[in-house]
Amino acid sequence: MHEIITAIILGVVEGLTEFLPVSSTGHLIITGHLLSFTGEKAETFEVVIQLGAILAVVVLYWPIFWGLVKPDKQKKFTGIYGLWLLFLTSLPASILGLLVHKQIKTYLFNPITVAWALGIGAVAIILVEKFNRRKKYFHLDELTPMTALGIGLFQCLALWPGFSRSASTIMGGMILGAKRKLAAEYSFIAAVPIMFAATGFDLLKSWDNLNSSDIQILAVGFVVSFLSAWAAVKFFIHLLGKVTLKPFAYYRLCLAPLILLFWSH
């Protein structure tokens, strides 16, 4: 029963934070330490529940993903061109991630580094919201290859656990001229290929850590993560029509010192 409760808690945390600019990896690291659920098996579990969050985005944006497979002549972000943009966005972080994957796992997956990433990312969000006024993209069909690559370069910031992939790509999109809501939606869509590749890579390496008794726990976490992510994405897109990203930055600024205080003793 304890393991089921742990799976539900981590599934909720993953689903609610994966696509919000608050860092799901950071929250999972903190929650895992609080629940004393760490180690290789915990890392594998986190990979599996991330797949649940990815599936939620695929379901919510199914027409767009289907358009990548079956091109729509009336749209530009479709077929080969749409896949090319997503490839460009995924490329920088994929290459850098492969090069420094071991170092990131060794040195950055701890509450202290997460706290610093949360704080620095929060300041970055506030600065972007304060000074960025450039708006030239309002629809996916308006995005260019250079913009997609630029967002991909910003995504490299997310390799620091706690910074947030969502925050880095949304800020990157806004800086490069995308309207906030468009930047968020492209962030969700662009998350699918790089998250699928990263989680698939981790899962292949750690699959031997699991046994048949873990299937139920993994299934619970997967389903809870899917449902939580579905709700979070719907809520976030609705919210962005009314507010900026600043409330998320303030939340991060409150959380970061609490983490530092708690783990410094």
Other C-beta atoms lying within 10 Å of the C-beta of residue 188:
24
Taking each helix axis from N to C end, the angle separating 180-206 and 40-60, rounded to the nearest 10 degrees, works out to 140
Distances (CA, A) of 149 to 45, 99, 198, 262: 31, 19, 18, 39
Q: Write out the residue range of the structural domain in which residue 169 sits.
A: 2-263
pLDDT in the model for residue 1 = 65
Q: In sequence order, what are the residues at sequence separation of 6 or more whose Cβ sits closer than 8 angstroms to the Cβ of residue 133?
A: none
Q: Give the Å distances, CA to CA, from 90 to 12, 159, 160, 233, 247.
A: 26, 12, 16, 20, 28
Question: Number of structural domains, the chain?
Answer: 1
Residue 53, pLDDT score: 92
**Around 115, how many Cα atoms within 13 Å sit in the side-chain half-sphere?**
15
Pull the structure tokens for residue 66.
Answer: 């289907």
Per-residue pLDDT tens, the chain, 265 aa: give them: 678 899 899 999 999 998 999 999 889 988 988 888 877 777 778 878 888 999 999 999 999 999 999 998 889 999 999 999 999 999 999 899 889 988 887 888 888 999 999 999 999 999 999 988 778 888 999 999 999 999 999 999 999 999 999 999 999 999 999 999 999 999 999 999 878 877 777 667 666 666 666 678 888 988 999 999 999 999 999 888 788 999 999 999 999 999 998 886 6
Q: What is the pLDDT of residue 208?
A: 67
- For residue 174, the 8-state DSSP code is H
- What 3-state DSSP class applies to 191? helix
